[in-house]
Structure 1
Amino acid sequence: MSLKQHFELMAEYNRWMNERVYGAAGNLSKSALLEDRRAFFGSILGTLNHIVVGDTIWLKRFAAQPASAEPLREITELAAPKNLNQIIFEDLDELHSHRKWLDEKIIKWISGLTDSDLDFILSYQNTKGVPATKRFSSLIYHFFNHQTHHRGQVTTLLLQSGEDVGVTDLLALIPNQNNV
């Protein structure tokens, strides 16, 4: 499996897990979604918003890579998040709709990348204005890892609220191989 194929798998895993998480979250009341659960971003809704904030920040940065500019053009037109705990959508249905849109953009963007695109060195500034220069493929790894990290927090918060999202392992999406 090539590096690009691994990223395609991660993009599909991202979409699959988001559907599971949002499905479980949709079974909770608005007050349960907003309840401060002492997580990094407070509530279930706060954490789901943070994942969207993080994705938006990174996708805007990734758009500076030449092959990513057109696939991520609509992302660059979004307002830049003001901070990492910004609540972009207070309504779960609106957040879920935006999440689905983002996931489709991510899948399409990743599918269009080539191996040489992944070797690109991206220069950017973090949210505190600190400059960095890093390999594009390593940043994409971070992008997917960040989603998984915070989605794992959400699955715990959901389970504590009585909603089990079921299997969350990437292994569920890794295809079986024939021995040759």
Structure 2
Amino acid sequence: MNRIGHVCLMATYNEWMNANIYEAAKSLSDEELSVDRKAYFGSILGTLNHLVAGDTIWLKRFAEHPANYSDLEPIRQLPAPKSLNHLAFSNIRDLSAHRVWLDSIIVEWSLSMTEADLDHDLSYASMTGVPSHRSFYGLVMHFFNHQTHHRGQVTTLLSQAGVEIGNTDLVVLIPSEPWLQ
């Protein structure tokens, strides 16, 4: 599998896992989703909001790539999150609708990339203004790894609340037929 194939696989995995997690989370009340469970972002809802904030921040940075991805135009129009723990959505229904929209953009964006795009170095500033210059491919992999990391926290929090989501392994989506790679 080439790098573009891997990026597309990760975008598909991201969309699939988010759909599973949000479906599971909807079995809990807004109050249960907002309980401080002593996680880094407090609650299940807080952690899911963090993922949306983080994704938005990174996608806004990726929108500055010289490839000028048209699929990221809706992201360019969004206000930048003010913090990583901002609760932009106070209920799972609104957050879920936004997540579905965001994931569809991520999938379409992944399909629009080229191998040459991945070889670019991207310059950006952190939320505190610290400048950085890093491999675009490395940053894209970080983007997906960050999502996986926090979804793992959410699956633990859901499990502690008595909600199981089933198989979360990427291997479920990895094609076994060489011609699909």
TM-score by length of 1: 0.97
Q: Secondary structure at the match of 1:81?
A: coil
How many Å separate the matches in 2 of 1:68 and 1:140? Answer: 15
Match for 1:43: what amino acid? S
Look up the match of 1:155: 155
Q: How does 1:1-180 map to 2 (within 5 A)?
A: 1-177=1-177
Equivalenced residue count is: 179
Deviation, structure 1 residue 81:
0.3
Q: Deviations over 1:121-167 (max 9, x none)?
A: 10000111110000100000000000000000000000000100100
Match for 2:92: what amino acid? L
How many Å separate the matches in 2 of 1:70 and 1:177? Answer: 32
Deviation, structure 1 residue 16:
0.3
How many Å separate the matches in 1 of 2:45 and 2:68? Answer: 29
TM-score by length of 2: 0.97
Instruction: Give the 4+ runs in structure 1 shifted more than 4 A.
Output: none
Q: Which runs of 5+ in 2 are unaligned?
A: none
How many Å separate the matches in 1 of 2:60 and 2:115? Answer: 21
Match for 1:86: what amino acid? H
Q: Secondary structure at the match of 2:124?
A: strand
How many Å separate the matches in 2 of 1:174 and 1:134? Answer: 28
Q: CA RMSD in A?
A: 1.1
